[in-house]
Structure 1
Amino acid sequence: MTATAPALSVLAQGWCALSLLHSKIENHLERVLENEHGLSAREYSLLDVLSRQHDGDGGHLQMKQVADAIVLSQSATTRLVTRLEDRGLLSRYLCPTDRRGIYTNVTEAGMELLKAARPAHDTALLAALAEAARDVRLEPLVRALQTPPTSIPVAP
């Protein structure tokens, strides 16, 4: 049996803390969004991402981009889109310039639900972070999330 390198132990502990923080936040968001708005956290994320796209060239996201943004596989994202489309929250249509492309838009009902759910989401996120900050293992990660990233100067 070999001893684990100290740096790897620290890295593994950090990874475990990050996984724990993510799980705590996700579970809290899931409970609040489901109870108050009938949405899963992934459904909320999908509506949120799609609501931020715009019309015009380059305005719509490809399914791979959406999948990356909500951290799901493309097939799981397609199933999620279908579920929300069945509920009347999303609509799909063919790209007018490339018949192979399919665009997904948030419907008016989807925008209304997203608008209603956003305050609950944001409040739940703050509450989950406040609770996590009381755990000494998670407090440094919470602090890092609450610190705005420093901008990286662009070379002339």
Structure 2
Amino acid sequence: MTATAPALTALAQGWCALSLLHGRIEAHIERALQSRHDLSVREYSLLDVLSRQHDGEGGHLQMKQVADAVVLSQSATTRLVTRLEDRGLLMRYLCPTDRRGIYTNVSDQGLQLLAEARPTNETALREALDEAARDERLAPLVRAVEGAPVLAA
């Protein structure tokens, strides 16, 4: 198959459309979260993921799991955790059963900020999807996103 084959072209065009949709949505949400809550999309995502932890069996996520959930490298995730900890939004402590393990939890201040930011995130997402749905190249992807099954966090 050559680089100009119709199937490859369609695949590349599909990927470009998906990338464009993602970029538009993320930029719209980023502006909304930054202006109203002084949070980036990544910071919001990290707070959201960590807020879903619990104290039961398997309830705390390892840094690799957190990094995978927020789509960052482990080192970038660690830097992000440190920044949010410095702002008082997260706290770290030693695992009570394994002194090598360090848990990261959302502080009360972080939970409050997350609760305030959730409606902004949802509204900005809806706005971005509605805008993208008016673009004929992106409308099929928007429909796919809107009809996609909910993934477990």
TM-score w.r.t. the length of structure 1 is: 0.92
**Which residue pairs with 2:12 in the alignment?**
12
Q: How many residues align?
A: 149
Matches within 5 A, 1:69-148: 69-148=69-148
Q: Residues 3, 96 of structure 1: CA spacing in aligned structure 2 closer, same or farther, 3 A cutoff?
A: closer
CA 1:3–1:125 in 2, change beyond 3 Å: closer, same or farther? closer
8 Å Cα contact 2:95-2:101 kept in structure 1: yes
The residue identity in structure 2 corresponding to 1:106 is V
Rounded to whole Å, the distance in 1 between the matches of 2:3 and 2:148 is 38
Q: Residue deviations 1:54-94, cap 9 Å, x none?
A: 11221000000000000000000000000000000000011
- Which AA in structure 2 matches 1:27? A
- Alignment RMSD (CA, Å): 1.2
The worse-fitting range, judged by mean Cα deviation, of 2-11 and 65-74 is: 2-11
Percent identical: 77
The answer for the alignment partner of 1:31 in structure 2 is 31
| In 2, Cα distance between equivalents of 1:117 and 1:88 | 16
Where does structure 2 lack aligned partners over 5 or more consecutive residues? none
